[in-house]
Amino acid sequence: MSVGLLLDEMFGPRVATELVERGHDCLAVVADPALRQSSDAELLAHAPDTGRALVTNNVVDFERLRRRRTSLANRYHPLIYTSDQSFPRDRRFIGRLIDALDQVCTLGDLATGGGVLWLAPVRD
C-alpha cells in the first residue's frame, strides 16, 4: 500500500505533481489555498486526517510539536524529515527529492502511529 504525502510549504507544487504522475497520493501545501495559511500544528493535525505523512525540512519546529503530541498520547502519521545536507539546493535537488519520496511511497515501509523517517537520497 502506498503512503500519501503532504509536502510542507518549502516544497513547490512541481514535486507533488511529479509524484502524482508516478501514481502516488501527494499534496503540496503551497498548491492548496486552504492549507497555505495553516500553522505547523494545524498541518501536523491535517496530515493524518487525510491519511498522509507530512514531509518537511522544518525539523526544529515539527520535532517540538511531535514530541508534545507524543507526550499527550495523540496518534498521527509519521513525519518525513529532509535536510539541506542530504538534499543540497542545487540543480539536482528536485529530481533527487522526487526519487527519494517515490521510493518511500513505493516501498510503503513507513510505520503509522508517530514515527520519524529521515529521508535519504536514492543510491545510483
- The grid coordinates listed for 93 are 535537488
Give the Cα separation of 37 and 18 in Å (integer): 24
- DSSP codes, the chain: -PPEEEE-TTS-HHHHHHHHHTT--EEEGGG-HHHHT--HHHHHHHHHHTTEEEEES-HHHHHHHHHHHHHTT---PPEEE--TTTS-SSTTHHHHHHHHHHHHHHHT-PPTTT-EEE--PPP-
Q: Say what the pLDDT of residue 1 is.
A: 47
For residues 66 and 34, give the distance between their C-alpha atoms in angstroms, rounded to a whole number. 22
Predicted TM-score (pTM) of this structure: 0.89
The domain 4-118 having CATH identifier 3.30.530: the answer here is: no
pLDDT at res. 103: 93
pLDDT mean by block of 10 residues, the chain; 124 residues: 85 97 96 94 89 94 84 67 94 96 85 76 85
**Domain range annotation of the chain:** 4-118
pLDDT at 115: 80
